[in-house]
Chain A
Amino acid sequence: MAAFVDLYTEADTFLHRMDPRVKIVAVLLLSLLAFLLSSLSYLLILLAFIFLLLFLARASLSRTKFALKFVLRFMVLIIVLWPIFDPSGSPVLASLGPIKITEPAIWRGVTSAARVGCLATVWYILMFTTSQRDLVRALVKMGLRFDFGLTLAISLRFLPTFGALIDSIKDAQRARGLELSKGGLVKRSRNYVAILVPTIVSALRTADMLSLALQSRAYGARSDRTYLRDLKMRASDGVALGVLVAAFVLPALAKYVFNIEM
């Protein structure tokens, strides 16, 4: 489980080499595009494009499956529930009391599911191809205060560590006869105190130690900071940015200036 906290997969594709700032902008633009498009066929084209990028990013199959499982469940839920709560339109295919299932409502459900699919999977492109370090570096470059950036990076870094810590603590208490799944609700929540207290104490100790380690390396000695690795836009990044901006601006113009239904 802990291994999946970081979706990043090491590889050397054009998406991995791309400036993380371009990738962040790309993901934002493609997300907006998913809201802009309202016809099912265009949304499916967008979804196909996103999957093409995922394929080009050489995302590992097992991780992709793991990540898509949640999205897929959500999409199925939308397709099933939408027609039940949306009685508008005709022809009516079936009705049971106040519930009417209409054909347009079914299509609206499928369209929304496709949109949600686009919105969710587009972020995987960023997560699969950008290491947490690069992500934080890009956010700082884009104006996030660097101490906030560091806090974010450290939190991400320690998620799997705390996962392992909680497992060890559970084992230690089970060895003392603690049965987590036994007893009523009150007893069970009281059982979790035995896990919670050592976890919090260990987390606080780790935080304390971490701040000492940071201070001993003169963190905060000056208010700005220098970088060992600086982010630089290359020509290819410029091209990629241009293509993506076009992919967003052209449909937007078509829709709002020329009133073409997209």
Chain B
Amino acid sequence: MIPSAPSSTREKIVSVQRLKFTYEGGVEAIRDVNLDIGYGEYIAIVGGNGSGKTTLAKNLNGLLRPTSGSVVVGGKPTSEQNVAALARIVGYAFQNPDYQLFCSSVEDEIRFGPTNLGYPDDVVHNNVEKAIEAMNLEHVRKLPPLSLRLGERRRVSIASVIAMDPQVLVLDEPTTGLDAEESSELMQRLKRLNDEGKTIILITHDMKLVAEHAKRVVVMAQGRILLDSDPRGAFSDHEILRQSNLEPPAVTQLAHRLAAYDIPRDIISPEELVFHLMKAIGGT
């Protein structure tokens, strides 16, 4: 099956060609992946555990180098750039914020990245202020990050990546362990960053999150891309989701059950379902 990429005339920031990646010890995590990502996209990489999504993401910022094939970031292959240089283009927020936090205040924590990259003082200062604002951390900026709640710790770790001002932001399972309110606030803030022109790559298996936020969905299973489309197209194909151990959002599953009553299968929001239901019962 050849995945069809949505037509995009935008310029590419990341281009993955015939990527294969095998871990030491012989586990083939990525078997054959082709993927182009344009400036300003909001893309979700979804798949079950062990599908290769995190390995793919680590190939984008040079933490892992292709076994064969190529990953081109910002016009240059990752094999010719070191991780620090790539961190200026691709920021990566790890799933567990506790892997990153070590400073005695939130401010210092956020300053760590841009200082490492050698940005001039005024740029560092500006970036830190912007990142604090973007992740709503003003009220805790002087506190030690490790004393904060998980939701706040995660926002600090994301802010510490934003402060390096990368064009691409990779977020690995950013909402795990957050409650509904924290999760929705974080997603709103990510949307704002996307509106400002940042490319967002969301790694997740929360399909509701994907339905509500992503503009493009890449479904992975066993180190390959099964499907590359908009969320609507991705959720209408239950067979592919099943192959990749994913569960469509409840509202889409309901729409499938109601297909006999002229309800379209590609519904991804409760509002849409209500609209079609009203139409079916003969309301306005």
A residues engaging B (CB < 8 A)? 3, 168-169, 171-179, 193-194, 196-198, 201-202, 205
Contact = CB atoms under 8 A, between A and B. Distances in A.
B236 interface: no
B94 A202 contact: no
B100 A172 contact: yes
B164 A176 contact: yes
Given A171-B58, A171-B63, A201-B146, A177 B98 contact: no
B85 to A, nearest CB: 9
Q: Among the interface residues A168, A172, A194, A202, which one has the most CB atoms of the partner chain B within 10 A?
A: A172
| Chain A interface mostly | helix
A202 B98 contact: yes
9 contacts: A169-B99, A173-B100, A174-B63, A176-B160, A177-B83, A179-B84, A179-B116, A198-B100, A198-B101
Nearest to B101: A198
A22 B193 CA distance: 66
Given A172-B94, A201-B146, A177 B116 contact: yes
Interface in B100-134: 100-102, 112-114, 116-117
A171 B161 CA distance: 13
B92 interface: yes
B94 A177 contact: no
B101 A176 contact: no
Given A174-B63, A177-B113, A177-B117, A205 B98 contact: yes
Contacts of A176: 87, 100, 112-113, 116, 160-161, 164
Contacts of A169: 99-100
B65 to A, nearest CB: 13
Interface string B190-209: 00000000000000000000
A171 B100 CA distance: 9
Nearest to B146: A201
A175 B92 contact: yes
Nearest to A194: B102
Contacts of B94: 168, 171-172, 175
B91 to A, nearest CB: 7
Given A171-B58, A174-B87, A176-B100, 11 more contacts: A169-B100, A175-B63, A175-B94, A175-B161, A176-B116, A177-B88, A178-B116, A179-B82, A196-B102, A198-B102, A201-B102
Contacts of B175: none
Contacts of B87: 174-177
Interface in B39-54: none
Given A171-B63, A172-B94, A175-B94, A202 B116 contact: no
Interface string B140-179: 0000001000000000000011001000000000000000
B109 to A, nearest CB: 10
Interface residues of B, number: 27
Contacts of B98: 198, 201-202, 205
Contact of B99 (A3, A168, A177, A193): A168
A195 to B, nearest CB: 8
Nearest to A205: B98
Nearest to A174: B83
B120 to A, nearest CB: 15
Contacts of B146: 201
A3 B82 CA distance: 28
A198 B99 contact: yes
Contacts of A196: 102
A104 B12 CA distance: 74
Contacts of A171: 58, 63, 94
B113 A202 contact: no
A173 B96 CA distance: 12
Contacts of B61: 175
Contacts of A175: 61, 63, 83, 87, 91-92, 94, 161
A193 B102 contact: yes
Nearest to B118: A177
Nearest to B164: A177
B116 A172 contact: no
A56 B245 CA distance: 45
Interface string B235-253: 0000000000000000000
Nearest to B63: A171
Given A171-B63, A175-B61, A176-B100, A194 B112 contact: yes
Nearest to B99: A172
A95 B82 CA distance: 53
A171 B164 CA distance: 16
Nearest to B87: A177
Nearest to B160: A176
Nearest to B90: A175
Interface in B208-254: none
Interface string B57-71: 010010100000000
A201 B114 CA distance: 24
